[in-house]
Amino acid sequence: MLTLRFIPYEEIKGMTTKERISKIVQLTKEEKIILIEGKLGKTEEAELIKKTMEEISSKFKGLEIAEISPEEKKDRTFFTKLKDDFLNLIMGDRRGFTIIGPATIVKEIKKDPNKIELLTKEPKKR
């Protein structure tokens, strides 16, 4: 059975990077596909990759990750851009989504600027 777990930004905003990474790796090890509201920071993404490499075993083959963000509108006014940047600073970067899944289930993640397609495969029976 394929399980999709949505994690709203509110659930992770108070966590440290280490706590977020541990939560993501644990859910991925449970063979859940995770959809996170917002994007991981560059540091968080690097830490996630590092932690994943440390955790790889015969049961856990790693993870696949992709992010999608709304395209920036080029015709925004100065004040609209300022307002959007200010809200991102205060509320965190909630624009877009991050999808993460175990490498044993996720066959491929195709993305273009406006969509993500997640192709899965049947997990091997244990």
CA dist 52 and 25 (Å) reads: 7
CA dist 49 and 116 (Å) reads: 20
Q: Is the pLDDT confidence value at 101 over 80? A: yes
pLDDT of residue 21: 94
pLDDT of residue 73: 60
Q: Using one digit for the tens of pLDDT, what is the confidence trace for 2-55?
A: 889 999 988 988 899 999 999 999 999 999 999 998 888 888 899 999 999 999
Residue 25: what are its φ and ψ, rounded to 5°?
Answer: -65, -40
Q: Using one digit for the tens of pLDDT, what is the confidence trace for 58-93?
A: 889 999 998 887 665 666 787 777 877 776 666 666
